[in-house]
Amino acid sequence: MDLSLSTRTVGDRTVVEVGGEIDVYTAPKLREQLVELVNDGSYHLVVDMERVDFLDSTGLGVLVGGLKRVRAHEGSLRLVCNQERILKIFRITGLTKVFPIHTSVDEAVAATD
């Protein structure tokens, strides 16, 4: 399965809904999307990963890169994920301490800290 991406705006947040597999082949598309959003002035991003089937370190790298970009503009990058197999990758790499991970888009959009 390929990667699917769609974006929508909720208040001052931009929600990026990602579906499919994020790997060494598809991660560049996600990177492009995040870079484009930041270049267009969207600095508060919520990446909804509920429909992601697979995530590898290349995908993690892209998310870290996105976080770096929004932080340069005092923005935020929040993740939405409830899938244990995806959460596990964030845990073993210690990235749960780096990303705020929420259980729903509503929760992520409402979060302010």
Verify binding: residue 100, other proteins, rule CB under 8 A.
no
φ, ψ (nearest 5 deg) of residue 54? -150, 140
Looking at 8-16, 43-51, 53-61, 99-107, which segment touches other proteins (CB under 8 A)? 53-61
Verify binding: residue 16, other proteins, rule CB under 8 A.
no
SS3 for 22-72 is ECCCCHHHHHHHHHHHHHCCCCEEEEEEEEEEEECHHHHHHHHHHHHHHHC
The correct pick among 6, 8, 12, 24 for binding other proteins (CB under 8 A) is 24
Verify binding: residue 93, other proteins, rule CB under 8 A.
yes
Question: Strands 44-55, 76-80: parallel, antiparallel or unpaired by DSSP?
Answer: parallel
| Binding residues for other proteins (CB under 8 A) | 21, 23-25, 54, 56-58, 60-61, 65, 85, 89, 92-93
